[in-house]
Amino acid sequence: MAGGSALDDLRAEASAFVDEHWDLDLTLGEWWERLARSGLGFPTWPEQWFGRGLGADALSALSELFRARRVVGAPGGLGQMMGGPVLMRHGNADQQQRHLWPLASGAESWCQFFSEPGSGSDLASAQTRAVRDGDEWVVNGQKVWTSGARTADRGMLLARVDMDAPKHRGLGYFIIPVEQPGIEIRPLKQMTGDAHFNEVFFTDARVADADLVGRPGDGWAAAVTTLAFERSGRAGVVGVPIAQGTGVRRRDLRQRKLGELVERDRVFAVAPQDARNPGPSGPLSPVSLIVEPGANRTDPLRQQVVRYYVQSRVNSMTQQRARADVAAGRGAGPASSITKLARSVATRMNRDLGPAILGAAGMLVGSQAPHGGAIAHATLQAPSTSIAGGTDEVQHNILGERVLGLPREPQVDRDVPFRELKVGTVRAEATKGNTKEER
């Protein structure tokens, strides 16, 4: 979006929209629908899909205005951050027509069925199978580390559709309904005490062929796009998103009144940061903690806080560039890997700074602890940042090969039919002769 005057006009329009439509007696669902129809909730989305086709500067300007006006932002989540943009790029018109409105209006929450016990960083070796059965596909296999599966309406599923093709060329990308008898979800307890992740078992689960994104075998391209959006952060969503919470379904959250959410749940109490990703400013940032009464403020510690602030601000600018590239149709490019790595660095710095500033109190948990124990929670949560969305090691490889032009790592299995690979538990040599048996 070019020019300060254009941004000023957009701010004025958004402010007038808030004056006319923001009402604490509305339900969250009613507000989200008004916001979606206005195109202000997802300004980087195309106009035909409930956006404005604008750049990252417009997104930042609108987010600042919504926070200043204490207005709840557009619906957040993996569907809005990744699923919608992926469908705009790889989906067909029917899929876009059926799925983008439920995402823009917050009617649906999506999860991501990618990682498997034997296919983590090597995602292309996924073993979950999808077999065609008329107008449907039958899915069998297991996924793990799935965030939000217990409350999701649909999932972005990467499954193998061709065992005779090499691993990157035999995958399908599906939008699968989660609430069906063939899908069993088991929560995984983390050391934080939370259970955001789940392991998911597919036993003859079904998904319509109409919800296969692209052609059979094209799933890897859509998966790479999905991961690029995940690494570049909360792309395209204006304002302070509502925290759905573990065990709360989106359809139930939509029925609550805005006044109840704002007053009882204190939506804006720590906006726009939270305990797991405090960012360069806000009440849980080291920048804010170090000026609190009783905080440790030694010179070396103050210097570390400044380094943290600079690291976070530079990464925020890089994220904006990545989002602008995506909005312009150029793709996130290497910036998505750079921001992912920088976020890991900033998270580790925050992990160390919080307890250092608060001292022993930074190790306490519970409602009586400083900031409700959020500092200790962030310390325990920190390792996940360098794993989720592709490990730091994977990002280093991507940047080394695609940006620096270093030689690629040897991949002797890249052109081998998948059924011939010894990947995880996919197959084993039979005890008799040379017969190969699939497990």
The residues assigned a catalytic role are 230
Residue 385's nearest CA partner among 354, 326, 416, 343 is 343
Sign of the alpha-carbon torsion through 234, 235, 240, 241: negative
**DSSP string computed for 360-371:** GGGG--STTSGG
Which contiguous run of DSSP H or E holds residue 131? strand 129-133
Assign residue 352 a region: left if phi > 0, alpha if psi is -120 to 50, beta otherwise? Answer: alpha
For the purposes of burial, counting CB atoms within 10 Å of the CB of 25, is it exposed (0-12), middle (13-18) or buried (19 or more)? exposed
Using alpha carbons, list the distances in angstroms from residue 334 to 137, 239, 403.
Answer: 34, 26, 7
Helix, strand, coil percentages for the chain (3-state, nearest 5): 45, 15, 40
For the purposes of burial, counting CB atoms within 10 Å of the CB of 335, is it exposed (0-12), middle (13-18) or buried (19 or more)? buried
Q: At 146, give phi and psi (nearest 5°).
A: -90, 115
R_g over Cα of the chain: 23
